[in-house]
Structure 1
């Protein structure tokens, strides 16, 4: 497949929308049942998505017209891979430690990365929303405005999560997921050359 900035942007949008779907599946199906196999399948699937996302975003940093947006996306992908790796490789052994502070520390570190990744996607959403806002149509302006608002909420709430920890998981996660979905939709809706 020949590389084009637009094709790479579409790959990024689709992988992020797929990641939103896996997060909703995790919250709705995996988390209530605490099914270990489903959790691993979901997290490994997300790892694959974030790997593809990161590769496409890294290519766009040099070739796209919005290098800061694609840098934020690439950083979010890398941080998500690290966070998922902690969950897959370290949650089990840490949960078996005699001292509960071990698991709390590993969990806190994983969620710090989770919040950071969501904040980076929020930054990317702000950039893409501003680009959409600059378009002539009312629909593009509306989508751009919503994306900027969602991105700003994601940045703010996830910064609070990084500073204050688990108290912000639900709010920051919801804001980050909303910003991710709107970012993906905005990228798909725009006709710019990435």
Structure 2
């Protein structure tokens, strides 16, 4: 069936080139995940705050390597783009930022993130989300990025605001967490 619209981001725009590493203010780098990062993923996912806001946990490095391999395939399949945020000097894993649920035709994606426990409160999440968002909107051709978080997660509300995401509303009972259904704030940045 022929399409009535020309895709805003043509198929192959991501997969035909390597996933870029992106500089992040403050001496950080958002780079593609490596299988050797599995130990850091397991350590981060032992944190109760990570488990509170995420739907899964990582129990072993083998399991974390499977996740990373899936994250790597997301770029080639043009369904997601996942970066680890590292100290540019030491390559220490400090966080994660990703574009998910890519809709190339409409130039849309959802952004998500986490920060390693020892790096929280330093602005890493907001700077990393801003850097990936700037790349997505100004270089990759996306026109709309959405950021959702539980209405009780005030830290994520601050990340959204500092990264330039405007509040758009509340999605009632939109996401199931381990403690039940949560209302979700919806924020967006548009080109």
TM-score over 0.5 for the pair: no
Higher helix share: 1
TM-score (norm 2): 0.27
Higher strand share: 2
TM-score (norm 1): 0.27
